[in-house]
Every structure is written in structure tokens, then in C-alpha cells.
Amino acid sequence: MENFVQYTDQQLLSLLKDSSQGAYTQIYDRYHGLLYIYACKITKEESEAEDIVQDVFVYLWDKRKTIIFEKSLSAYLYSAVRYKFFDLLDHKKVRTNYSASFQNFTENFPVQADQILREKELSALIEKEIACLPDKMRNVFELSRKHHLSHREIAEILHISQKTVKNQVNNALKELRVKLSTLFTWLF
């Protein structure tokens, strides 16, 4: 097994680009402790510092073939820790803003949101039951209730008597009441 301790950062980077796990391990061993101390100083929290450092090393391995090191390895790693910290701050700010916004919404609009959801569910269930009606009855019912046509207009369109239209609408309402009565009890 090759000993990478004597290698320079530049040599380790070259080997890392060729997917050398030994070079990666040496970079980790060389910089993990220093980066952790640096991250602790800027985050003031050990667990966040450890997460940031781990994220930096995972990113380093994942992007090893495409990362361009404009400066030294150490400068890159310290900058990466700093950027991860800023990302963490941005994430916390977004989370805090979202939490405050959600809290405001639930305090000011709880009934409306629940009511809208119930109305949508109820509407979907009614539509499902209407779709289950016999074709002729469903057609007459939809012309009456959805298109707001009078019994006379429906009778003319379908070439049936007004009495038949009235019976079909009444029968549809009776069927829907029976099917939906338990649902209404549950919802209200």
C-alpha cells in the first residue's frame, strides 16, 4: 500500500483526479481537523461544523474529476467550508421565513383552508356519484343542474316530455341524497 504522507497537495490533487482513494484519504486526514476547528469557530456549533466539513469532503470526492483548483488545495477547502456555512445560513433563513409565514397563515386562515379542502373533496365525491347515475338520468340532471336549463328547454333538446324531465331530475336527486347522506353526516 502506497504511503501518501510525503506527497504535496498538488501531487495529491493530481492523484485525486485519477480517483485515487489513498490520495483522498490523505487529503481528508491532512485537512479534516483544521477545517473542523475553522467551521466550529464560524458556526459556534459542533454538529453543524461536522456536517459542513463532511459535506465539503463528499463534494470533493464527487466532483474530483471536474473541480478546477485556481489556488491551493487548502484555500479551496477553507473557501468551501465558508460557502457551505453561508448556504447553511441562507437555508436557516428560508426555513425561519417559511415557518413564520406558515404560522401566520394557520393563525389567520385555518378555517378557510380547511373549508376549501372539504369543498373540493365534497365536489369530487358528488361528481363521482353523478357519473354513476344511469345515462339518461345523468344527462337530464347535468343539463338541469350544471347548465341551468329549464325543464322545458331540456325536454325540447332531448325530445322528451317536461314531466319525464321532472321525474328524471327528482329521481337523480333522490339517488344522490341516499348515496351522499352518510357522507354529509360525516363531513358536517
Domains of the chain (ranges plus CATH)?
9-107 (1.10.1740.10), 111-187 (1.10.10.10)
**Where does the chain have alpha helices with state H?**
9-17, 21-43, 46-62, 73-108, 110-131, 135-145, 151-158, 162-187
Q: What type of residue is 34? A: L
User: For residue 107, what pLDDT is reported?
Assistant: 65
Please give the biggest Cα pair distance in the chain.
Answer: 100
Cell output for 179: 348515496
Show Cβ contacts of residue 24 under 8 Å, excluding neighbours closer than 6 positions: 16, 60, 61, 64
Series of mean pLDDT values for 10-residue runs along the chain (188 residues):
86 93 95 94 91 95 89 90 87 66 62 69 82 90 87 90 92 84 61
Q: What is the pTM of this model?
A: 0.50
| C-alpha 102 chain-centroid distance | 15
User: For residue 60, what pLDDT is reported?
Assistant: 94
How far apart are the C-alpha atoms of 66 and 138, rounded to whole Å? 64
